[in-house]
Structure 1
Amino acid sequence: MSTASSPRPPYATGSLIALVALGGAVGTAGRYGLALALPVVGGWPIATLTANLLGAFLLGLLTEALVRRGPETTGLRRLRLGLGTGVLGGFTTFSSLAFEIERLVSGGTAGVATAYAAVTLLGGFLACFAGIWWAARRQAAA
């Protein structure tokens, strides 16, 4: 016999939307600061690469840490939406990645563009799993 679980509360509430928007503004400002601090090196947009790899690691870490805390509460939901969707969603950037790859290809450096795309995708995947591993390890040690 199965029991129906209670439905999740709606996401489209003013306070949650504001939380995601505020987090997104913070994350975007962080990415902008990173872009000012890190130059392009050898055609590689280091700031975008750093933001995406660091963001993937932190998203993996946050997700694992929240899952290990148990069922989602209102506080955990706000944390997930504010930090994950908001801050880290604004900090990471697929649109800049796509623009930079197109810029590299149209600039005649398709090899650099291909390497940059591959490093970003594979590195992001590995960074995410490193974040998951680290959060799991820290929880097991606690």
Structure 2
Amino acid sequence: MDMLIVGAGGIVGALARYGLSLVFNPADPAAFPWGTLACNLAGSFALGSLASAAEGRLPDWLKLGLSTGVIGSFTTFSTLSVELLHLLQHGRLAAALGYGLASAAGGLLSVRAGMALTERRRYFAVKGGRP
């Protein structure tokens, strides 16, 4: 059953990533891959938020489907690696460095921002106030 849940989520995440890449990624392999960066940062934010929100609140099957299925297929380290190599092969050292740093540091910051936002919303929900 877990495989079906991950597979169903994977379809959703893969289609969403493909759609964003069609809109934001240029066909030129030497161009900056904005779509992949957006997917990876948004996915990092979503996974951080889910990790914080899911603590004892979501059933395991739903966490699995969302994290491994949807978010796992929406984000992509392998595409990041290929695009980074293309930038380097086309002599775009500054773009490659910026892409690598934005992906790594931005991913960490996005996970933390997702967690912080969820924790803040939970805090205010418990206190009865508005965030």
TM-score by structure 1 length?
0.82
**Partner of residue 115, structure 1:** 98
Counterpart residue type for residue 55 of structure 1: G
CA contact (8 A) 2:25 2:36 kept: no
| Alignment TM-score, normalising by the size of structure 2 | 0.89
What does residue 29 of structure 1 align with?
15
Gaps of 5+ in 1: 1-14, 70-74
Name 2:109's counterpart in structure 1.
126
CA distance in 1, matches of 2:100, 2:16: 22
Runs of 4+ in 1 over 3 A off after TM superposition: 39-42
* Structure 2: gaps (5+ residues): 126-131
1:60 equivalent in structure 2: 48
Larger radius of gyration: 1
Counterparts of 1:62-101 in structure 2 under 5 Å?
Answer: 62-67=50-55, 69=57, 76-101=59-84
Percentage identity across paired residues of the two chains: 40
2:85 aligned with 1:102, yes or no?
yes
1:117-136 Cα deviation digits (max 9, x unpaired): 00111001000000000000
Query: What amino acid is aligned across from residue 11 of structure 2 in structure 1?
Result: A
Question: 1:38-53 alignment to 2 at 5 Å?
Answer: 38-40=24-26, 43-53=31-41
User: Helix, strand or coil: the match of 1:31?
Assistant: helix
Which whole-Å deviations, capped at 9, do the CAs of 1:36-95 have from their partners, x for residues lacking one? 1114498210100000000000000000001153xxxxx610111100110000000000
